[in-house]
Amino acid sequence: MSAAAPAAGLHDCREAYVRAIAELAAEDDRIVAVVNDSVGSSKLGAFRDRFPTRLINVGIAEQNMVGVGAGLANGGKIPFVSGAACFLTARAMEQIKVDCAYSQANVKLCGISSGVAYGELGATHHSIEDIAWLRAIDKLTIIVPSDPWETAAAIKAAAAWDGPVFLRISRMPVPDIARTAGAAFVIGRAETLRSGDDVAIVATGTLVHRAIAAAEALAAEGVSARVINMATVAPIDTDALAAAAATGAIVTAEEGLATGGLGGAVAEYCARNHPVPMQMIGFPGFLPTGSADWLMENFGLTAHGIAAAARDVIARKR
Amino acid sequence: MRVEHVRAKANWMRRRLLRMIVDAGQGHPGGDLSATDIVASLYFDTLRIDPLSPNAPGRDRFVLSKGHCTGALYTALAGAGFFPEADLDTYLKPNSRLNGHPNRTYLPGVETNTGPLGHGLPVAVGIAVAGQIDAAGYRVFVVTGDGELQEGSMWEAAMFAGHRGLGNLTVIVDRNRLQQGARTEDTNALEPLVDKWRAFGWDVFEIDGHDVAALLTAFDDAALPRSRPRVLIANTVKGQGVSFMRDQASWHHGVPSAAQYAQAIAELEAEQAK
C-alpha cells in the first residue's frame, strides 16, 4: 500500500525503525531481519541491499516466520522478525507464546503498521487487539514507542535485552515529542512528560503527543494534568502508576482496544492497589470503514477526546 | 559395535520410560516407543553434543517436534548425561524439571519448547538458516510425528527449507501411521508422503525406523556438505518393543497396569538378553 509522505513536522516511525536496525546491523553481525514478504511494507529494501544474507524472507507464512526467528536466536542471531502487526500477532500467536515467550528465545518481534494505520482496509488489517492479546503472555516484553527518537531507542534497547520483545511500530504520522536533554529510554520505565496533580493521563504510542496537547488545553482551564508515556506496557512501571493514582483520577489513551490493552493494565493495577475514577480512550471493537485519521477522530482518540475524558474523571473524584 | 551400543541404550530407554509413565500415572508410551530407536541412534551415536557444554555454539541440534514424546527424549538426555538419571523419577511431579512437554528453561539439552504440534520444524529450520548463514558445521535433526504433518506450519517450514537448500537439516518422520484417535490414512491421509516432500524440494528416503544399522547409515549419509534438506520417512510401529502395545491407538496415552508393566519389562529384558 502506498502512502503519502507525512506532513511537515510529522514522521512515519518505520523510518526510525529501519535506520536503527541498519545501524545495529553494521556494528553486530548477529543482527538479522526476518520478514513475511513484507520487505516493502517494513521498509527493509535498503537493509536487504546492504546486508543481503541477513534479510530472511520466508514468504507469506507467519507461523513459520516466528518459528524461524526462534531458531535463528538458537543459532546465535538476534532476529528482528517484522511483519504487519495484524498478521504477525494473530496468525502466529502460538509461536509467539511457545517458541518465543515460553522458550525465552531472544527474538525481537516488530509489529509494523500497528493500530488502525491501514484505515479503510478494515478490521482484518487493523491491529487493535495486539496489546491485549500479548499482554496475557508471560515473560514477553511489550514496547509501544511514541515517536522516531523513542522508536530508535527502543529498537536498540531491545537488541541489548536478552529475551523476547514485541515492538509495536506505527506508521501513523507523529511529531517529535519534546524531551528534556539527556532523556534516556529504559525498558520498563515510564516517562513523566508533564507533572500535574488534578489528573493523570497515561498514554502510549501515537496517543502520547495527543495526551500532551490535551494537558496543554486543560492547563488553560486551570487543570493540572500529569502526562505519563507508558512506552513499556509489559512489564508495566508500577511506580509511575502509583504516582498517577495519587492524582485521584486517570485517563488512559492508546491506539488500540480501550479495554484489555494499556487501559486494562492500568485498571488492574488501580483496582488492586489504589482505586480511582478512570476513563479509557481507545477503540471499542471492529470498526466501520474509514481512513485512519477519520477513525481516530470519530472515536475520540484525539486531544479533545482525552481532555473531555479528563474533565469527566475529575468530576467523579470524591 | 555401534549398532549393539545403540540397541542396548534403546532397550534401556524403553524400560526406563515405561517405569516413568507407570510411576507418573500418565504419558505417551505408544509414540515414545515408536521413536525410541531413532532418538537413541541420534543421542548415542550421531549427535556431536557435550552435556558439559549444552549450549556450545557449534553443537548439533536435536529438536523433538512431537513434543509429547518426552519419555523418549528425557531418557535419552539422562542417558547421555545432561542430567542425573535419578531426575527421571520426578517425571510430572510438582515442580519437576521434567514437564509433560520439554522446556528448555528447565532442562539442559532441550533446544526449544515443544508440545503443540507443528512448532519444532519451523524452529529447526531457523537454526539451520543460522548455520547456513555462518557456514557453521553443525547439523540439525528433527523428529516429527506423522500425524503432526497435518499441521500447516510444517509445510510452511518444509517449503522454506527446500527453497533455502538447507543441507544441514535432516527430518525424521516417525511414520507409525497412528495418530491419537485413529489411523492417519483414515483421518486426513498423508500419502503419497514421499511425493509430498519431494515436491517441496527435499531428498527423501524411506527407512525401517527400528533398524538401527539403517538409521546410523542414513545419518552418516547426511554428512555435510549437502545442498538440499533430507527427510527420512521412518516406518515404525507405535508401541514397538511391547507386544500388547504394538500398533494400537489406545496406547497413545495409555498407562500399563502393574501386570502389564511386568510383562513389558520381561519382554524387553528377554530382547536385551538375545
> Which tens digit of pLDDT belongs to each residue from B85-98?
999 999 999 999 99
Helices vs strands, H then E, count in chain B: 9, 5
Domains and CATH numbers, chain A: 13-168 (3.40.50.970), 191-315 (3.40.50.920)
Phi and psi at residue A225, in whole multiples of 5°? Answer: -110, 130
CB burial of residue B186 (10 Å; 0-12, 13-18, 19+):
exposed
Q: Would the pLDDT of B162 be above 70?
A: yes
Number of inter-chain CB pairs under 8 A, A vs B: 106
Q: Is B61 on the interface with A (CB under 8 A)?
A: yes
3-state secondary structure of A300: coil
- Does the complex come out with an ipTM higher than 0.90? yes
- Residue A4 has what pLDDT? 62
Q: Would the pLDDT of B10 be above 50?
A: yes
Residues of A in Cβ contact (< 8 Å) with B105 = 102-104
Which cell numbers in the block locate residue B225? Answer: 556438505
Name which of B61, B106, B129, B134 to mutate to probe chain A: the one with the most chain A Cβ atoms within 10 A of its Cβ. B129
Sign of CA dihedral B163, B68, B18, B188: negative
- Residue A75 has what pLDDT? 98
Concatenate the DSSP letters of all residues of B217-266 into one string. Answer: HHHHHTPSP-SS-EEEEEE--TTTTSGGGTT-GGGSS----HHHHHHHHH
Which cell numbers in the block locate residue A23? Answer: 545501524
CA–chain centroid gap for B244, Å, is 22
B274 band by pLDDT with thresholds 50, 70 and 90 = confident
- Is the bond preceding B51 in cis, omega lying within 30 degrees of 0? no
Q: Would the pLDDT of A214 be above 50?
A: yes
Instruction: Specify the higher pLDDT residue, B1 or B217.
Output: B217
Span B190-196, average pLDDT: 98
- Residue A5 has what pLDDT? 73
Other C-beta atoms closer than 10 Å to the C-beta of A178 total 11
CA distance B197 to chain A (A): 17
Enumerate the active-site residues of A. Answer: 62
Q: What percent of chain A stands above pLDDT 70?
A: 98
Name which of A30, A66, A103 to mutate to probe chain B: the one with the most chain B Cβ atoms within 10 A of its Cβ. A103
A42 band by pLDDT with thresholds 50, 70 and 90 = confident
CA distance B70 to chain A (A): 16
Cα A263 to Cα A272: distance, rounded to the nearest angstrom: 14
A243 close to A217: Cβ distance less than 8 angstroms: no
Q: Would the pLDDT of B68 be above 80?
A: yes
Burial A134-162 (b: 16+ CB within 10 A, else e): bbebeebbbbbbbbbbbbbbbbebbbebe
Tell me if A74 and B136 make a contact (CB, 8 A cut-off).
no
The pairing of strands A250-257 and A278-283 is parallel
Average pLDDT, chain B: 97
Nearest-CA neighbor of B2 among B209, B237, B217, B272? B217
Facing residue for A67 by CB, picked from B103, B123, B131: B123
Facing residue for A71 by CB, picked from B105, B124, B159: B124
Tell me if A73 and B126 make a contact (CB, 8 A cut-off).
yes
DSSP A174: B
A168 close to A85: Cβ distance less than 8 angstroms: yes
Q: Would the pLDDT of A223 be above 90?
A: yes
3-state secondary structure of A62: helix
Q: Would the pLDDT of B44 be above 60?
A: yes
Domains and CATH numbers, chain B: 2-273 (3.40.50.970)
Q: What are the tens digits of pLDDT across the range A135-175?
A: 999 999 999 999 999 999 999 999 999 999 999 999 999 99
Residues of B in Cβ contact (< 8 Å) with A59 = 159-160, 163
A3 band by pLDDT with thresholds 50, 70 and 90 = low
- Residue A183 has what pLDDT? 92
Span A114-134, average pLDDT: 97
Q: What are the tens digits of pLDDT across the range B120-143?
A: 999 999 999 999 999 999 999 999
Span A28-38, average pLDDT: 96
Which cell numbers in the block locate residue B76? Answer: 535419552
Tell me if A59 and B157 make a contact (CB, 8 A cut-off).
no
3-state secondary structure of A3: coil
CA distance A28 to chain B (A): 14
Length of chain A: 318
B223 band by pLDDT with thresholds 50, 70 and 90 = confident
Q: Would the pLDDT of A2 be above 50?
A: no
Span B209-233, average pLDDT: 94
Of A41-45, A209-213, B107-111, B156-160, least confident by mean pLDDT is A41-45
Span A270-297, average pLDDT: 98
Q: What are the tens digits of pLDDT across the range A61-96?
A: 999 999 999 999 999 999 999 999 999 999 999 999
Span A102-126, average pLDDT: 97
Q: What are the tens digits of pLDDT across the range A233-267?
A: 999 999 999 999 999 999 999 999 989 999 999 99
DSSP A317: -
Cα A29 to Cα A78: distance, rounded to the nearest angstrom: 9
